[in-house]
Amino acid sequence: MPHEAPKLADPSLFKQQCYVNGNWVDARSKKTFAVSDPATSNQIATCPEFGKEDTVTAIEAAAAAFPSFRKTTGRERSRLLRKWYDLMIQNGEDIAKLITWENGKSLSDARIESTYSAGFFEWFSEEAPRIYGDTIIPSVPGNRAITLKQPIGVCALIAPWNFPAAMITRKVGPALAAGCTVVIKAPAEAPLTALALAELAHRAGIPKGVVNVITALDNTISVGEVLTEHPTVKKVSFTGSTRVGKILMKQSASTLKKLSFELGGNAPFIVFNDADVDLAVKGLIASKFRGSGQTCVCANRIFIQSDIYNEFTNKFVEAVKAFKLGAGFEEGVTHGPLIHERAVDKVDEHVQDAIDKGGKVAVGGKRRPDLGSCFFDLTVMTGITKEMKVTKEETFGPLAGLFPFETEEEVIKLANNSEVGLAGYFFSKDVARCWRVAEALEVGMVGVNTGAISDPATPFGGVKESGFGREGSKYGVDEYVVIKTITTSTA
C-alpha cells in the first residue's frame, strides 16, 4: 500500500548516531543495525551497534559529569528541564512523525504521546527546586538532626519501544531534577525518537555527559550486563517484560544497585451491572486499543456482569467496527500495525486458542497481509473463559476478550488471580462498591469509571511481579535520591 513518511520540519532531528559526552558517535566496531517501518517492513535508518566498550565509555562520560552537575542548584536544573520541555513542544509534530515512522502507531496517537512525554519535563522542572529534607529532634538531649536528599549518581535508564518518547522522559526528567547523570539505552525497535530527544537536550544546554543515549540490537544482552553490573552505575530503571526484569535484577544484585522496574501487566477491566454502559465502552476503547493494544496498562482480561453482557458487547463491537486500520500516516487511520511479526504471531495464537476452547469472534480475528505483515484486525471475542491463554498471558495486541461474571466476590477473585498487578479498571455507579473494589484489587493503579490513568502528576507503577518503584508524580524524584542523616550535638 502507498506509505511515505512526511518530511520533518527540522531534518536535523533525524539522527543515526549515538550521543555520548555531548558528541554524536558511531560504535567502535562501525557496526550498525537496521531500523524498519512496521507498516511496510522497509528499512528507514541504521543505528550504531554499541558493544561493551562503547557502553563503558558512556558510563564514564556520565560519571565525569556527575561531580559538577550534582552541585547545580535545583533552580538551575529546573531551567534546563524547562528549556528541554519548550524545545519538545516547539518540535512536537516532528517528534510525533518519528514515533509513527518507527513505532507504527497512528499519527494522531503519536501526537498525543509527544505532548504527554514533554509534560514530564515540565512536571519535573517544577519539582527540581522542591526536593526537601526534614528536621528531626532525636531522643538524645542536645542533639539535632537533619536529612538531606542527595542524587544517587550515574543512572542507567532502559526504555521500551511502545512509547519511545514518554518512557524516556518519564525516567530522565526526575533523574536530572535530582542532580543525577544518565545513560539511556534506547529501544532497538524504535531508537530514532530517543536520538531526537538527545539532540533537543543538546540544544537546551544540558551539559556534556549528563545525558547519553546509546543503541544496540544484537548486543542488547551484553550492553544490559554492563549497565547492570558496572560499579559506577548506582541506579537502574527498566520498563519491559517481567522475564527480562528478573534477569536485570539478578545482574544488578552484584553491586546492590537501587532499582525501579515497571514490568508486565495483565490488567482486569470490570463492568458492573449498575455501570454507565456507554461510558464503560468509551473507557474500554481508551484502555484496550491505545497503540493497537501494545501498552503495559492495556485492559487484558475484560469482565462484564451478566445482566449487561449482551448490551455492552453489541455497543462495544459497533464502536470497534468504526475504527480504521492502516499505516499510521494514512488519512483517517486510527490504529496502525504491531511492532513486528512476532507480535502478530502472539495475537493470532491467543485468538486461535480461544476459538479452540469455545470462544467466538464478534469482529476481526484475522491477520491482514493485504495491509502488511505486521497488521492484525482489531478483534473482539465473546465467551472467554479462565482456561484460555488470553486470560493467563498478556496479549500485547488488539484482542479484546469479553468474560461474563455473576457476582462482585467472583470477579474480584478472578481479577486478582494473576502473578502481576500493574493496572486495573472498573465501572460502577455505586459509591460504596467503588471504594470496596478499588481497595480490593491487587494492582498499583486503579481507574474508576475511566480507562485513562496515566498523567505526569500521578505515580505510575505496580505490585507483585509487575515490579516496584514509582515514576511520575512527586514520588518520582525519590527513586533517584538517597537520604543522608546529619546529627549534631549542641551539648
Secondary structure (DSSP) of 209-254: TTEEEE--STTHHHHHHHHHH-TTEEEEEEES-HHHHHHHHHHHGG
Q: Which of 367, 468, 487 is nearest to 421 (CA)?
A: 468
Catalytic residue among 49, 60, 122, 262: 262
Distance, CA of 195 to CA of 99 (rounded, Å):
12
H helix runs in 338-430, sequence order: 341-356, 389-392, 408-416
Distance, CA of 282 to CA of 295 (rounded, Å):
17
3-state secondary structure (DSSP) of residue 85: helix
* Residue 262 annotated among the catalytic residues of the structure: yes
Copy the grid coordinates of residue 402: 469479553
- What pairs with residue 233 in β-bridges? 154
Distance, CA of 411 to CA of 429 (rounded, Å):
17
Q: List Cβ<8 Å contacts ≥24 apart for 242-250.
A: 242/419, 242/420, 242/465, 242/466, 242/467, 245/467, 248/158, 248/224
Active site residues: 262
